[in-house]
Structure 1
């Protein structure tokens, strides 16, 4: 077992780097799009800061459709879009597209839930002080919801780790690809075990870090 793992150690480190690259870049794009989506879902509600029930319904339907699609189906379905954006449908860069599209509606709902948890009294106080709607969003809602949003980002990153392993089944690279190429196709069980252990370590580390950051933000 030891000699087998040692022989693929360079591939193991490379696969870990590819997984982190896919997940971190996808997370960045997900936050950039998903957080405004969450704000819109809260703000366009009937009792929101800028009510627009029709838009709220449309956004809700789009988000629900995005969340209902199994990732492996989404991965295949948007292959033409992926090829159009990055020029290829395989590899680490190509995997970032479906990972981001899958995570945006998920994080959008998470952000919506976090923003709805903000005490309405704080919002009303900001209105009484003459703050505009976007000032309330940027200076009240998001700062007040920040600990919960950090935990939401943590959950999203962990979900993306799982998605990245699935993407490895279609040549996206990363630990999932390594586990399938060596652990499944070549029957090297030790490699499969090591990749699973690495994924568990990554999940535990990300969760602990997220909890720590959220805890520090809550105490402020």
Structure 2
């Protein structure tokens, strides 16, 4: 059985085939062909051609599931995410799962890079950005009831209430998660226009002064 995560894989290219594109990666000295997520494969095929980097890109190949046309069940594919810092490498010897049952996204995954040769810990689920930087998870949980009308609204928007509220929070607070500086809490706003409208709503609904933000 193939692993679901290929850390420090070197993407060498994209191979087209009758059954869909394949990621060509070099992993632990072996060349491996993985069924590729089509959109992700197209993105990196263009990126590799544009860069002219024959050595390829170092990053993480991870398993994803998605439905394809004509299939009721989700198929298994792989997507590649290049490390923003190409000197970044996983340091499995530093992994610390002592508090794995904690509800917060703790820094417990080991990494090393050129700037931090002794290694450092980062949260599960993110790839550290430039120079190994990231924003730690400092969120607090609140439990409250959500009315059916809001749930119905979210459903009509083809999302869920939690995602809708998280996006509004990110827009209001101008939170951005980027490859260069990823956020462990996963919050990321929709941009300048969404930020302006979200803050305009708060000013109107709560009668805030223009200089509040």
Bucket of the pairwise TM-score, normalised by the shorter protein: under 0.3
Instruction: Give the number of the structure whose residues are more often helix, by fraction.
Output: 1
TM-score normalised by the chain length of structure 1: 0.26
Which one scores higher on RCO, CA 8 angstroms, separation ≥ 6? 1
TM-score normalised by the chain length of structure 2: 0.27
Instruction: Give the number of the structure whose residues are more often strand, by fraction.
Output: 2
